[in-house]
Amino acid sequence: MKILIAGVDGYLGWSLAQYLTARGHEVAGADIFFRRQWVEELNSWSAVPIAPIEERLQAFKEHFGTKLHFWQGDLRDYAFVEQILREFQPEAIVHLGECPSAPYSMIDVSHAVFVQTNNITTTFNLLFGIRDICPQTHLVKLGTMGEYGTPNTDIPEGFFEIEYNGRLDRFPFPRQAGSWYHWSKVHGSNNIMFACKIWNLRATDIMQGVVFGTRIDEMGDDQRLLTRLDFDQAFGTVINRFCCQAVIGHPLTVYGQGSQKRGFLTLKDSMHCLTLAVENPPDVGEYRVFNQFANVFSITELALKVQRIAQNLGWDVKVCHLENPRHELNEHYYNPTHQHLLDLGYCPTHDVEAEISIMLQDLWKYRDRIRANKEILIPEFRWNGTKKKVKFLD
């Protein structure tokens, strides 16, 4: 299958290009290297050193025996999107070309506007491009479990049936996002749903949980094939940050009481799920939603897991509670379903400890890179718009 990855240079995109190519797909990618720039803007860097794109493409060719078609440019530019779709004629597009950070979107007005316009415009351009150039193409769009928020009910996959005043209908499940970033994903979902309806497009909207992991098997031992792993307050996700903290003996930074719950999955599982979505397209005109995660944990549970595994490796790691810079519920009900991917053959990795252990050992090699920027581990971007390092609560 011919598959275009929008945002191929990022954490998921670079991994997915390898995962799909290893399974016989013809893969192309586009990127403008925004992720590299955002992390630099925050005076940080990836814990795992990443090669420039030229070296990545060379390594890709040597390792997989085939070229990764690559376009450098801005997906907000419709002419650029048109050019790629005309030249490559993809059967599926995996759209990872958005800004993925809640804290980054909360910094100030310019960051909020940037995240929303970037995320909404790129999706619009792909939708119009598909309509006009390749209307059979399946759009697989990365949304987020954070679109739903933490309602006091079960969370279905996108839609639910409701009876109101004696009449029954099927509605999109209410979205209660928790940051300007998460709202950008909600707006994208609405636009895709509408485009499928009026133009008969096909799309899968992936409500993904928090991803963690340093590698997938396809990367082998080639340093140039490794994907990035961020540990700053905006682009480092929670387990990845905890593991980076553990390898330098920094206290694990649990925000608030740590009772907030999220869905999590390994990088390998994320690749498997996205591939299942691509290889099993919906019907023409169908807009479907997949909830994509393996396990639900509270943040404290995760911190204790990382602490325990680090202790097994002989490292002394403390778990600390910090003022929560975010506005989010601490104690809440959380019971999302994820049946659609299971029906397609997804077997979630439940051995989170094994994955954390691999991560800790991988990251040990890069401890000097993390230690050199350890002040970045304490967050300062607050949901009320102020910028001040948070305090330790214990």
| Residues at the site binding ligand USQ, with contacts judged by CB under 6 A | 100-102, 144-146, 208-210, 237-238, 241, 253-255, 260, 262-263, 299, 326, 328
- Identified catalytic residue from 181, 255, 287, 346: 181
Shortest Å distance, C-beta 247 to ligand USQ: 15
Nearest one of 206, 201, 214, 195 to 362, comparing CA atoms: 214
Residue 386 burial (C-beta neighbours within 10 Å; 0-12, 13-18, 19+): exposed
Shortest Å distance, C-beta 122 to ligand USQ: 15
Nearest one of 242, 290, 287 to 269, comparing CA atoms: 290
Q: State yes or no: is 144 an active-site residue.
A: yes
Q: Toward ligand USQ, which CB reaches closer, 59 or 262? A: 262
Q: State yes or no: is 141 an active-site residue.
A: no
Q: What share of the chain is helix, strand, coil (3-state, %, to 5)?
A: 40, 20, 40
Name residue 138's beta-bridge partners.
92, 202
Q: State yes or no: is 185 an active-site residue.
A: yes
Give the separation between CA 303 and CA 122, rounded to whole angstroms.
Answer: 35
Residue at shortest CB range from ligand USQ = 146
- Identified catalytic residue from 144, 150, 214, 253: 144
- Identified catalytic residue from 11, 19, 104, 185: 185
3-state SS class at 169: strand
Shortest Å distance, C-beta 145 to ligand USQ: 3
CB atoms within 10 A of CB 181: 25
Q: Toward ligand USQ, which CB reaches closer, 276 or 377? A: 377
CB atoms within 10 A of CB 3: 26
Q: Toward ligand USQ, which CB reaches closer, 218 or 328? A: 328
Q: Toward ligand USQ, which CB reaches closer, 22 or 304? A: 304
Shortest Å distance, C-beta 253 to ligand USQ: 4
- Which residues are catalytically annotated? 144, 181, 185
